Amino acid sequence: MNEMDLVRGLLREPPPPSPRTTAQALRRLEKDLTGPRRRTSRPGRRWFVVGLAAAGTAAAVAVAATVTGGPDAPVSPRSSRPVQLSAREILLSAASSTAKAPVTSGGYWLTSEQQGTAVVVGRPSDRYVIERRMLLKQWVGIGRRPSWQVTRELGARPQGEADRAAWQRAGSPTRWTFPPPFTPWTSGASRWKTERLPVQLTFTAGSVQDVHRLPDDPAQLRTYFMKRKNDSEGHSSPAEWLFSSAYDVLLSEPASAKVRAAAYRMLAELPGIRSVGGTTDPLGRPGVAVALGDGAPSDQPSTEQRIVVDPATGAFLAEETVLVRPATGRAVSRLPSDLSERSARPGTILNYRALLTATWTDTAP
């Protein structure tokens, strides 16, 4: 199966009358992915991420702080098709589609997303993974308008089928406790909580106007990101820094379609980026994914950061951190993150952000 066969499978396009050369196939790929389609909300802003510790749960932060990455040839348990398209082809096609998004405006930049964080629980002889989920909506006010945030806890639940079976063997608990100072997790959902907050955007001085001035040339965007590089949250390679900076733009900043397209094209040239192929995001939506590993030493846990996009529209669906190689040896602490890095199965999603809506609106919550 070649690249075009995979795209036809994803988009259910009838086969062409005869084989094409590689260059022709790529041009046809870009044409197919940017053809007539339904209008889709585009990703945009990330002023700040409210993690699952928003209700005082530091355990979520401990897991989410894991350095992202992966080994040379990790296996994706959620991949539904063999890897055929290269990462570069996926990203360039997404860029071509994204660049055609219509220009819109409004009084607020509105995004909604589902966040998830996982930890390992249970008896040493029968561990399982639980995933705590939260819905987050944020309105960035333009000018003198205030910014708002609305959150709702969805509760914790076993992540996969094997986890559900182990959870049932444990008596189907609805509450999980952790060593102090971490607060318990429960399976119950909460009511919506609305807050008025002094929210800032991620880039430059924190204004929408500054985000709109981000360069729409891939090389210039790379230079801009590298000038802002810092290691305040742990050392990262240039590729890791650019990868995370790009998905900030793609996931939640109100950047223009041309800037988002430039971010995709910048990612296409990153060393070490690989194709995961056809997959589903944490919400079950079909997509294609690319990943970047951390190159961790063999005696340390290894993870990889993934971006999942809609192959037909180039829309950003989700970013996720996947455990590829657990740590070896005995646990050195009682931290939930340490237990997860040593006990979780390869393929476990340690944390994710799945984008639901990204659009301009004139209506506040």
pLDDT-wise least confident of 34-43, 133-142, 213-222, 255-264: 34-43
Same domain, 263 and 220: yes
Mean pLDDT of 210-215: 80
Mean pLDDT of 254-266: 90
Same domain, 4 and 101: no
State the pLDDT at residue 330: 58
State the pLDDT at residue 329: 63
Percent share of the chain, pLDDT over 70? 69
State the pLDDT at residue 333: 58
Percent share of the chain, pLDDT over 90? 35
Non-local CB neighbours of 161 within 8 Å, separated by 6+ positions: none
- Classified as helix, coil or strand, 108 is strand
In the chain, how many domains are there? 2
Which residue did the predictor score with more confidence, 38 or 3? 3
pLDDT-wise least confident of 19-23, 91-95, 198-202, 229-233: 19-23
Same domain, 188 and 205: yes
Number of Cβ atoms within 10 Å of the Cβ of 154: 17
Give the pLDDT band (50/70/90) at residue 287: very high
Mean pLDDT of 301-317: 88
- Report the C-alpha gap between 144 and 205 in whole angstroms: 16
Same domain, 6 and 151: no
> Whole-model pTM above 0.75?
no
Same domain, 4 and 50: no
Which residue did the predictor score with more confidence, 134 or 75? 134
**Domain membership of residue 97 as a residue range:** 40-361
- Report the C-alpha gap between 189 and 177 in whole angstroms: 17
Same domain, 128 and 7: no
Same domain, 21 and 49: no
- Report the C-alpha gap between 318 and 285 in whole angstroms: 10
State the pLDDT at residue 231: 65
Average pLDDT, the chain: 74
Same domain, 187 and 246: yes
The answer to whether residues 315 and 92 touch, using CB atoms and an 8 Å cutoff, is no
Closest CA to 226 of 213, 240, 216: 240
Same domain, 9 and 74: no
Only one residue has tokens 């000038």, namely 227
Which residue did the predictor score with more confidence, 148 or 328? 148
Whole-Å CA distances, 347 to 95, 127, 129, 338: 28, 15, 12, 17
Vertex 116, ends 315 and 66: CA angle to 5°? Answer: 100
Give the pLDDT band (50/70/90) at residue 332: low
State the pLDDT at residue 151: 95
State the pLDDT at residue 72: 33
Sign of CA dihedral 20, 270, 50, 212: negative
Same domain, 246 and 307: yes
Mean pLDDT of 296-308: 84
Same domain, 325 and 203: yes
Same domain, 20 and 156: no
Sign of CA dihedral 8, 13, 19, 21: negative
157: exposed, middle or buried (Cβ count in 10 Å: 0-12, 13-18, 19+): middle
